Homo-oligomer: A and B are copies of this chain.
Amino acid sequence: MRIAIDAMGGDHGPAMTVAGALLAAKEWSDVEIVLVGDEGKITGHLSGGTLPANVKILHAADVIAADDEPARAVRRKKDASMVVAGRLIREGEADAMISAGNTGALMATGLLVVGRIDGIERPALAPMLPTMDGSGFLALDLGANMDSTPDNLLQYAIMGSIYRNKVNGLPKPRVGLLNVGTEAGKGNELTKAAYPLLEQAPIHFVGNVEAREVLHGNCDVLVCDGFAGNILLKSMEGTAEFVFKALKTEFTRSFMSKLAAAILKPGLSAFKKKMDYSEHGAAPLLGINGLMLKCHGPSDANAFKNAVRQARIALSNGLVGAISTETSRKRDG
Complex contact B243–A275 (CB within 8 A): yes
Q: How far is the CA of A258 from the CA of B40 in the complex (A)?
A: 56
Complex contact B239–A240 (CB within 8 A): yes
- A228 at the binding interface (Cβ < 8 Å): yes
- A46 at the binding interface (Cβ < 8 Å): no
**A 18-56 binary contact with B (CB < 8 Å = 1; else 0):** 000000000000000000000000000000000000000
Residues of chain B within 8 A (CB-CB) of A1 are none
Residues of chain B within 8 A (CB-CB) of A247 are 247, 268
Copies of this protein in the complex: 2
Complex contact B188–A213 (CB within 8 A): no
Stretch at the interface among A58-66, A165-173, A249-257, A303-311: A249-257
Determine the residue in chain B with the shortest Cβ distance to A244: B243
Complex contact B230–A180 (CB within 8 A): yes
The main secondary structure of chain A at its interface with chain B is helix
A residues sitting closer than 8 Å to B (CB atoms) are 132, 143, 146-147, 178, 180, 187-189, 191, 210-216, 225-228, 230-247, 249-251, 253, 256-257, 259-261, 263-264, 267-268, 271, 275
Q: List 28 A-B contacts (CB under 8 A).
A: A132-B245, A132-B246, A143-B180, A146-B180, A146-B188, A211-B238, A212-B235, A212-B237, A212-B241, A214-B238, A215-B241, A215-B242, A228-B228, A231-B231, A231-B235, A235-B235, A236-B239, A239-B240, A242-B275, A243-B243, A243-B275, A246-B271, A247-B247, A250-B264, A251-B264, A253-B267, A256-B263, A257-B264
A-B pairs with the 5 shortest C-beta distances? A260-B260, A211-B234, A212-B238, A212-B234, A239-B239
